[in-house]
Amino acid sequence: MNCSVKELWRAYLLLAWCVLGIACGFGDSSSARRTMLDLKDKCREDGRKVRVEWVARYHGETFSGEDEYAYNAELNTCLWTEEYWGPAALLGGQIRVKFILDVQGNKTLIEFTEHNGKQLGGCFSGDV
């Protein structure tokens, strides 16, 4: 699937919308709110563990440090968005990768890659 920077930002905005929707409340009962808070806490913990694994796996890359985690109730999963960059070993120059990962499924939902500031290939989009 080909996608532009505009489409990638649309995906990031969707993730932000999910985060705002969750932050603005989940039901009226305190037990539902408590459950949602627990799910969000678990999402953040699980996401941080996966991030540590990714940083170790891609040890030559620089991660942005602006990672975000969001529990999505409709998908019943934790989403992580991040960006990293570094030397492009096979191509020379620099590579930059932006992605959204389903933390529980360990599956990349969307990924955008740039090589020396230009889009490299299409935009990968996994099955949801």
Give the pLDDT score at 27. 47
Whether residue 49 is predicted with pLDDT greater than 90 in this model: the reply is: yes
Separation of alpha carbons 68 and 56, rounded Å: 18
pLDDT digits 0-9 by tens, 50-101:
999 999 998 889 999 888 999 998 888 999 999 999 888 777 889 999 999 9
pLDDT digits 0-9 by tens, 93-122:
899 999 999 999 999 999 999 999 988 776
Separation of alpha carbons 104 and 35, rounded Å: 18
User: What predicted TM-score, i.e. pTM, was given to this entire model?
Assistant: 0.69
Q: Are 119 and 112 in contact (CB under 8 A)?
A: yes
Write down the domain spans for the chain: 5-125
Question: Which SS3 state, helix, strand or coil, does residue 27 take?
Answer: coil
Which carries the bigger pLDDT value, residue 88 or residue 26? 88
Separation of alpha carbons 125 and 15, rounded Å: 15
